[in-house]
Amino acid sequence: MPEMPEVETTRRDLEGRVVGRTIADVRVAPGAPQPQAPLTPEQLREAVAGRRIEDLDRRGKYLIMALSGGLFLILHRRMTGNLILREAGVPPERFLRGVLVLDDGTELRWEDQRKFGRWVLTDDLAGALRGLGPEPLAETWTSADLAATLAGRTAPIKAALLDQRRVAGLGNIYVDEALHAARIHPERPAGSLSEDEVRRLHAAIREVLEKAIRLQGSSARHHVGGLGQRGAMQEQWRVYDRTGEACYSCGTPIEKTRVAGRGTHLCPRCQPYATAGER
């Protein structure tokens, strides 16, 4: 699933190219499910055609297109969705599901192999995104905020970080990478982390996300950026999807387990299961 770095890569790719343009037409591929449901393609076209794209923003894993007249088109890529800017006449992508035709003839194409991605049209942005936690790269998000979020929680730290109400934008890849960088076992109870461990985790989350954005996200499977380019973060994974390979830090084979129902990768030597008081 595209996580925050992948969505932010797409936003940065497209922002300077589509903001100020007007949506001239909307086309949605036949078949169910369609990304704009429950709106019909005709209802979506009637609502957005002729509106100007005034801003392109991101919140967590959501890409937010602000339209003239106070409407917002929120796009969630889910498992396999990509939003790609193409010139008219370029052959369509294999799994093309929808197109926003812009007034300069270019096309914002929605490609989604598994059809789980969604478009939500709303005039209440705050209501649509209600419940999302803080942005992990915001200057205002501190290690004290993370500590307060985790305090008293008995759920595994991996589950707590995947909860979008706690921190927005983190997913399976970058939680595994951040926990390894912070030397924290993913099954540790979230509330058991020491003050030092929380500080390490806070720093690791930021460092991993910033690196992923610099490398334009992870493209091991479905993600491509807003211009169709592949990211390179998958070449820098230290534990994720490296089961049985040697840990770059200590040489111990990477293990895979399940935490909170998700495949989870860790180094058992770098990330021992022990609370601060047990070491």
Active site residue 3: yes
Rounded Cα–Cα distance for residues 231 and 235 (Å): 9
Active site residue 12: no
- The DSSP result for the chain, as a single string, is ---HHHHHHHHHHHHHHHTT-BEEEEEE-SSSS-TTTTS-HHHHHHHHTT-BEEEEEEETTEEEEEETTTEEEEEE-TTTEEEEEE-TTSPPPTTEEEEEEETTS-EEEEEETTS--EEEEES-HHHHTTT----TTSTT--HHHHHHHHTT--SBHHHHHH-TTTSSS--HHHHHHHHHHHT--TTSBGGG--HHHHHHHHHHHHHHHHHHHHTT---SSS---TTS----GGGG-SSTT-TTSBPTTT-PBPEEEEETTEEEEE-TTTS-S--GGG-
Active site residue 183: no
Beta bridge partners of 59: 62
Sorted by sequence, the CB contacts under 8 Å of residue 40 that are 6+ apart come out as none
* Rounded-to-10 torsion of CA 194, 186, 260, 253: -170
Marked catalytic residue, from 45, 58, 61, 188 = 61
Active site residue 256: no
Marked catalytic residue, from 262, 268, 269, 272 = 262
Q: Which residues are catalytic?
A: 2-3, 61, 262
